[in-house]
Amino acid sequence: MRYLIVGFGNIGKKRAGVLGKKLAASVDPNPKTGSDYRNVKDVPLEIFDTAVLTVPQQNKLELIKYFLLNRKHILVEKPLIINKEEYKTLNQLATRNNLVVQTSYNHRFEPNMKKFTELLESGFLGKIYHGTFIYSFGNIQERIGTWREKEYSVLEEIAPHLLDIIINHLDYKGKDFVTFTARKEESNIFDHWVFSTSDHKIIVETSSITWKNTFLLELFGSLGSIHLSGLQKWEGSELIIRKRVFPSGKPIEKRIFRKGLDNTWKEDFREFEKNVNLNKNSLQNDLKLSKALAHIVLTAPNTKDPQRNFYRQILK
């Protein structure tokens, strides 16, 4: 598999480092990035099999169409926000040409995250009672004046990692979300969000004003609880597994701490190549997540910006 990286910024360069000799070329309109090409249409089609898109949301759809029409597989950085008609168009193009479009959620491949979702699928928790999911940064000042300073930047950038778990492992649908607060504290974008599942069992917080990067997943059920804090690439990741003792008492506890290199990008490419062989794309999951984001945005109080119209189209 030979790869073209489209968007040669921070993430694109990380991807290039993982690919090594599989990297055919890179493309970015900004000459300061040091990419091989400035425009995708200048890249010879015969030199690559897959396009890796690390570009802003507003550029993704047309690029995906271009590469599908030219019979290329696509790996795109999350999220891919699409409406029903866009889903149909992309799915038809991919199916007709036996091509795969996969959206990347590299946190799925964190070792402790894999164990967390395995426990969910195994029924370890029993009936799920409640939980809290938090993913936040302290980088609001870095966004100001860049392409990332847009209305729903933090919601679209990091909340999808949490929604990916809630939708795919806890069986919530796109309509099953409601927002408590969306605030603008240090810029013209919403830098702090709190929302929940519509039954209020799972509370979710995502923010760019917490000063220290925070990743926390906690779920409590009738048979026990699981707690995941941190990412392996930061200061380490700890998974705490607690089995409930009946009728009461201190739970039986197991702790797993992991720290080290971030191998999630490598695992992400491995999963992608497996799905290419299976001819399996992720567009239906993208549509589910898009609907969830739409409900979160449209139920937010006091948000009257023009981008709400974009999300209204997703729910039609």
Co-location of 215 and 121 in the same domain: yes
Residue whose token pair is 């967390």: 116
Return the pLDDT at 148.
65
∠ CA 11-102-192 to the nearest 5 degrees? 55
Q: Would the pLDDT of 162 be above 90?
A: yes
What number of CA atoms fall less than 13 Å from residue 270's CA on the CB side?
7
Co-location of 123 and 219 in the same domain: yes
Q: Would the pLDDT of 141 be above 90?
A: no
- Specify burial of residue 299 (Cβ count, 10 A radius: 0-12, 13-18, 19+): middle
Starting at the edge strand found earlier in the chain, the sheet holding 224-229 runs 177-183, 192-197, 202-207, 128-136, 214-221, 224-229, 237-243, 252-258
Question: In the structure, how many helices (H) and strands (E) does the chain have?
Answer: 10, 13
Query: What is the amino acid identity at position 41?
Result: K
The larger pLDDT score, comparing residue 150 to residue 42, is at: 42
Residue whose token pair is 């990419």: 35
Return the pLDDT at 174.
81
Quick one: average pLDDT of 48-52? 98
Rounded Cα distance between 255 and 260, Å, is 17
User: Is the peptide bond prior to 306 cis by the omega test (within 30 degrees of 0)?
Assistant: no
Q: Would the pLDDT of 167 be above 90?
A: yes
Band (pLDDT 50/70/90 cuts) for residue 151 is low
Co-location of 256 and 123 in the same domain: yes
Q: Where are the alpha helices (DSSP H) in the chain?
A: 10-19, 57-69, 84-96, 111-122, 140-143, 153-157, 159-169, 264-278, 283-298, 307-314
**Do the beta carbons of residue 316 and residue 83 sit within 8 Å?**
yes
Percent of the chain at pLDDT > 70 equals 97
Co-location of 113 and 259 in the same domain: yes
Band (pLDDT 50/70/90 cuts) for residue 306 is low
Q: Would the pLDDT of 304 be above 80?
A: no
The CATH code of the domain that includes 28 is: 3.40.50.720
Domain that holds residue 98: 1-104
Q: Would the pLDDT of 69 be above 90?
A: yes
Determine, yes or no, domain membership for 47.
yes
The CATH code of the domain that includes 241 is: 3.30.360.10
Band (pLDDT 50/70/90 cuts) for residue 159 is very high
Q: Residue 233 in 3-state DSSP?
A: coil
The larger pLDDT score, comparing residue 267 to residue 154, is at: 267
Determine, yes or no, domain membership for 115.
yes
CA 261 to centroid of chain Cα atoms:
20
